[in-house]
Homo-oligomer: A and B are copies of this chain.
């Protein structure tokens, strides 16, 4: 199971790590960039360096606490690892991100990888969509 806190992840419980984890927990449905988190810290009066944010996010990722997504923006987005795998659908008009799971797609992927003599290590599926009803 994924670690749910810093100790379980084998990380010292420091102030910056606690605050960053809090921010990730309080994220709504939004996926945050390192800079989002940095600015959020600054706004709440914290004195935490941007380098620390990147370092901590990398540690969190290595520890399995968070997932890192690249989408198509050249900027990485982070979200807490919910434990259950899911893919993403991004609305190109509103930027809204919807998470979904499709066992059908998962199975098809395994089949394809197997057919080529591989096993799946990971995968990334992002569907870019727009609202169906035209104005």
Contact B109 A127 (CB under 8 A): yes
Cα separation A118 to B97 with both chains bound (whole Å) = 12
Minimum Cβ distance to chain B for residue A88 (Å): 10
- Choice from B74, B124, B131 contacting A72 with Cβ under 8 Å: B124
Question: Cβ of A91: which chain B residues have Cβ within 8 Å of it?
Answer: 118
The count of residues in chain A whose C-beta lies closer than 8 Å to any C-beta of chain B is 36
Contact A104 B108 (CB under 8 A): yes
With most chain B CB atoms within 10 A of its CB, the pick from A72, A127, A128 is: A127
With most chain B CB atoms within 10 A of its CB, the pick from A89, A116, A126, A129 is: A129
A100 with B112, Cβ < 8 A, contacts A70-B70, A72-B124, A118-B91 known? yes
Question: Cβ of A36: which chain B residues have Cβ within 8 Å of it?
Answer: none
